[in-house]
Amino acid sequence: MSNFTVQHSLADLGAPFSEPCNPTPVAAPQWLAFNAELAAELCLPQQYWHSDDGLAVFSGNTVPDWASPLAHAYAGHQFGHFVPQLGDGRALLLAEVLSADNQRFDIQLKGAGQTPFSRRGDGRAPLGPVLREYLVSEAMHALGVPTTRALAAVLTGDWVQRETAEPGAILTRVASSHIRIGSFQYLAARGDHAQLKTFADYVINRHYPECASEANPYLALLAAVVAAQAKLIAKWMSMGFIHGVMNTDNMSIAGETIDYGPCAFMDSFNPAQVYSFIDTQGRYAWGNQPRIASWNLARFAETLLPLLTEQPEQAVELATAVLQDFNGLNEAEFLHLMAAKIGIVTATDTDEVLIRDLLNLMSANNADFSQSFRLLSHSVSDINAGAAVLFADKQGWTSWAKKWQQRLATQGIALIKVSQQMDNTNPALIARNHLVAEAIKQATEQADLTLFNRLQQALAKPYTLSDANADFALPPQPQQLVKNTFCGT
Ligand code: AMP
Ligand code: MG
């Protein structure tokens, strides 16, 4: 294994971007999960692999000599309302490390105690949200969606008081960085342009180095983040994923999915679907995600205005033009991804209609999102097979399926190949809400990790369905349906 290489670039920037802060020790740590595959990618020394040394570090009981723990400062619009100071209230960056292929990653503890940004929070995380983030973030990674990852999960041996007392836990999160739109908003709200510039230069150097040589590096940074987010949201939507809390403090500058709170994969398709019980207005519904991402990016653009040009009006013009690219980029990516889901290699404008018609048919028939696409590969040459069972409206299905088969025929690709390609595109297994909820329940109420472990293993190979995992592919029975998910606070 190559060398474990540690950096502290954010710590080196100092205040006001972060504040040094040590984790608070816990009573009696125990392992819940350790991600050996990720540990290998990060060249983490074997000393820490599922060992007592690792448990001490990932519970916050020991600060290893390679760590320089800090809490990052950020602000954010939460459900549209600006909060000038949020920050890492229950998370601590331990260190940045270089992976085997020389990429830089943050290693962060989530739930390791209070920080200067905790406000009235306890800095802790209950077991349920930790297991949820572990399962769902790793499932997203296996689906090829840019995301933060989970390196470790441990029980603390302490209780965390929420509505009831819950076992405390800590997640070790890995990300290409934890810098958010809110990080820029924090600096902009302080009104110090020199600090803002320092930070923007840091982010360009860290995430988008190609922007440095552009005529206007900060405008190029905006364009790069717009493009990354446009693609990310299209990916979410093509998987039936609802983030649930797209506040600007939860939108990563690197374009990764971050903050797995009330997130969920949809069961039956409904574009207005929301799972978060606090999202009463449907602000973060499945179909609203592009609009919200675009709104969030406008907040990001506002922070950059003083760096774009000295002329305020011209700065707004420049930023507006870049922001306007979001919809086109997002729609093109969504079309490309959705076309692939129905076996179309090169999407055309008329395919957009075909896709919309299918989505409408799915929502009118309450068809399960993932099953609709997964079973479609069995319908390529027989419209009465595969996905047909999901549509009570037989006429609607037949009429759509005929048009679709005609379209597939124009490609000149053998249908068996099309069908295989579809099975590699449409997951058989997603982190279904009712399964995640049941795994959390068994872990919390009976200290039983069997279902959590089974799910974790199955979701690592989402395109392969084995007999042993067949039950995980099924949509929930009405009595199993989970209608609400809760924030990880
Ligand atoms: P989130 O809803 O997870 O995006 O968190 C929003 C803000 O609340 C962030 O600044 C968090 O650090 C902070 N926060 C959430 N839960 C806690 C907690 N238990 N203790 C301290 N701060 C918290
Ligand atoms: Mg957050």
Q: Write out pLDDT tens, residues 217-269.
A: 999 999 999 999 999 999 999 999 999 999 999 999 999 999 999 999 999 99
As a whole number, mean pLDDT of residues 353-361 equals 98
Which residue is closest in CA terms to ligand 1's atom 15? 489
Residues 153 and 195 in one domain: no
In this prediction, residue 485 carries a pLDDT of 76
C-alpha span between 308 and 171 (Å, rounded): 38
Q: Are 127 and 443 in contact (CB under 8 A)?
A: yes
The predicted structure's pLDDT at residue 357: 98
| Ordered DSSP codes for 90-144 | SEEEEEEEE-TTS-EEEEEEESS---TT-TTS-S-EEHHHHHHHHHHHHHHHHTT
Ligand 2 center–CA 186 separation, angstroms: 14
Task: Indicate if 210 and 107 belong to the same structural domain.
Answer: no
Instruction: Spell out which residues line ligand 1, taking CB within 6 angstroms.
Output: 86-90, 118, 121-124, 245, 249-250, 259, 261, 487-489
Same domain? 12 vs 154: yes
Number of residues that this document lists for the chain: 489
122 is an active site residue: no
Write down the pLDDT at residue 486: 63
Active-site hit among 158, 249, 351, 368: 249
283 is in which domain, residue-wise? 182-333
Ligand 1 centroid distance, CA of 162 (Å): 13
In-domain check, residue 465: no
Question: Which of 300, 333, 366 is at the close of a domain?
Answer: 333
- Residue having the nearest C-alpha atom to atom 21 of ligand 1: 121
CA distance 404 to 51: 54
Q: Which of 276, 303, 333 is the last residue of a domain?
A: 333
In a domain, 236, yes or no: yes
How close is the Cα of 32 to the center of ligand 1, in Å? 22
Q: What is the spatial distance between Cα 418 and Cα 407, in angstroms, rounded to a whole number?
A: 12
Helix (H) or strand (E) holding 403: helix 394-409
Evaluate whether 431 touches 145 at the Cβ level (below 8 Å).
no
Q: Identify whether residues 225 and 306 lie together within a single domain.
A: yes
pLDDT value at residue 276: 85
User: What confidence tens digit (pLDDT) does each residue in 423-443 have?
Assistant: 999 999 999 999 999 999 999
Let me know whether 171 and 247 are in one domain: no
Q: What is the 3-state secondary structure (H, E, C) of 232-260?
A: HHHHHHHCCEECCCCCHHHEECCCCECCC
pLDDT band at 409 (very low <50, low <70, confident <90, very high): very high
Residue 91 CA: which ligand 1 atom is closest? 12
Tell me which amino acid residue 47 is: Q
Spell out which residues have Cβ within 5 A of ligand 2, the ion. 250, 259
Q: Do 123 and 151 form a contact (C-beta atoms < 8 A)?
A: no
CA of 446 to the centre of ligand 2 (A): 29
> Is the domain of 415 the same as that of 291?
no
**229 CA to centre of ligand 2 in angstroms:** 17
The pLDDT of residue 146 is: 98
Residue 113 lies in a domain: yes
447 part of a folded domain: no
Query: At which of 369, 392, 423 does a domain end?
Result: 423
Q: Please give the pLDDT value at position 296.
A: 98
Using one digit for the tens of pLDDT, what is the confidence trace for 64-118? 999 999 999 999 999 999 999 999 999 999 999 999 999 999 999 999 999 999 9
Q: What is the pLDDT of residue 294?
A: 98
DSSP β-ladder status, 149-161 and 5-7? unpaired
Does 280 map to a domain? yes
Q: How far apart are CA 314 and CA 316, in angstroms?
A: 5
Mean pLDDT of the chain: 96
Q: Is residue 363 predicted with pLDDT exceeding 90?
A: yes
Q: How many domains does the chain have?
A: 3
Q: Are residues 49 and 128 in the same domain?
A: yes
Residue whose CA lies nearest to ligand 1 atom number 12: 89
- Predicted TM-score (pTM) of this structure: 0.97
Please indicate, yes or no, whether residues 120 and 206 belong to a single structural domain of this protein. no
Confirm whether 191 is domain-assigned: yes
The reply to whether 450 falls in a domain is no
Do 226 and 329 share a structural domain?
A: yes
What region does 290 belong to: left with phi over 0, alpha with psi -120 to 50, or beta?
Answer: alpha
Determine which residue's CA is closest to atom 6 belonging to ligand 1.
86
Residue 233, in any domain of the structure: yes
- Looking up tokens 């449907």, which residue turns up? 282
Collect all residues with Cβ–Cβ distance below 8 Å to 337 and sequence separation of at least 6: 234, 235, 238
Alpha-carbon gap, residue 379 to 362, rounded angstroms: 15
Ligand (nearest to CA of 75)? 1
Note whether 81 and 127 are same-domain residues.
Answer: yes
| Window from 90-99, 380-389, 439-448, 478-487 with minimum mean pLDDT | 478-487
